[in-house]
């Protein structure tokens, strides 16, 4: 591949349906970093800008990707000298900030989940890496939905050795759980975006008065308006159905959760 051509990178991001928003956003910044390293010196700044814009627009439903790449663009000085080294360093800084956001979000979620009694049973939908890290080591039991289409919940259950429920069965049994915990691909002022099937679970949890938590790093917040959903595997869920958003304060965002 021509190192100045981001089309294959965009296709790779679009084709990655296994990883969640946090991993995809980091992947996009790492892709940008690799392009900066490999690209020729001629017109490097303009080539970098073009690649960053293409990566940011790759998957509108996964706002975390666009937010993190655009944050890189907005906070970079675009210097006339030492462009390559400074651009690479800025990628590293943004990745480090994303790691801090992940850590702070996980720690906050663990504090909240730590208030549940030992042996409480938590239901999750899809396969959020943030959810998984938040529950790791806690004395809580986790149950996954199958999370169709795609079945990433089945894979998560097999990997962790935990029970897996069919999606419809999970909705019918929401009242049996102590809480629901999911991730998010984007969070807006009135709704958030997650794997299809989340709305049915959130609505059932609301009716059953089962706590419903969303863990989402601050770079997943959209700056204006309603999050975009342009992939069949995603849907919007009203924020009014959420008991609490568990997040960090590393990146600026438009609205508090």
pLDDT at 253: 62
Chain Cα centroid distance, residue 26: 10
Tell me the per-residue pLDDT of 208-256, one tens digit each, with 9 for 90 and over. 999 999 999 999 998 766 788 888 889 999 999 999 999 999 987 644 4
DSSP 2: -
pLDDT at 255: 41
pTM (2 decimals)? 0.87
Strand extents, DSSP E, the chain: 121-124, 141-145, 164-165, 179-182, 186-187, 191-195, 212-215, 234-238, 244-246
| Token couple for 77 | 């000085």
| Mean pLDDT, residues 183-201 taken together | 93
Strand extents, DSSP E, 55-202: 121-124, 141-145, 164-165, 179-182, 186-187, 191-195
């Amino acid at each position: 591949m021509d190192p100045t051509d981001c089309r294959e990178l965009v296709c790779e991001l679009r084709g990655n349906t296994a990883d969640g928003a946090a991993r995809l956003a980091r992947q996009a910044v790492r892709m940008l970093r690799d392009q900066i390293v490999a690209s020729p010196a001629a017109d490097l700044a303009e080539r970098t800008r073009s690649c960053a814009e293409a990566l940011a627009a790759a998957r509108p439903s996964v706002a975390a990707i666009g937010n993190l790449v655009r944050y890189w663009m907005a906070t970079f000085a675009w210097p006339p000298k030492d462009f390559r080294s400074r651009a690479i360093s800025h990628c590293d800084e943004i990745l480090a900030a994303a790691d801090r956001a992940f850590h702070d979000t996980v720690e906050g979620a663990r504090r909240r989940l730590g208030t549940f009694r030992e042996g409480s049973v938590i239901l999750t939908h899809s396969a959020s890496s943030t959810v998984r890290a938040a529950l790791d080591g806690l004395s809580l039991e986790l149950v996954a939905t199958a999370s169709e289409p795609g079945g990433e919940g089945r894979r998560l259950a097999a990997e962790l050795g935990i029970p897996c429920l069919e999606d419809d069965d999970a909705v019918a049994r929401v009242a049996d759980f102590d809480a629901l915990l999911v991730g998010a691909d984007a969070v807006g002022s009135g709704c958030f975006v997650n794997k299809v099937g989340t709305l049915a679970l959130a609505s059932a949890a609301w009716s059953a008065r089962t706590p419903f938590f969303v863990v989402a790093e601050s770079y997943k917040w959209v700056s204006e308006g309603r999050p975009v959903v342009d992939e069949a595997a995603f849907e919007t869920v009203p924020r009014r159905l959420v008991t609490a958003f568990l997040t960090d304060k590393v990146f600026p965002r438009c609205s508090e959760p």
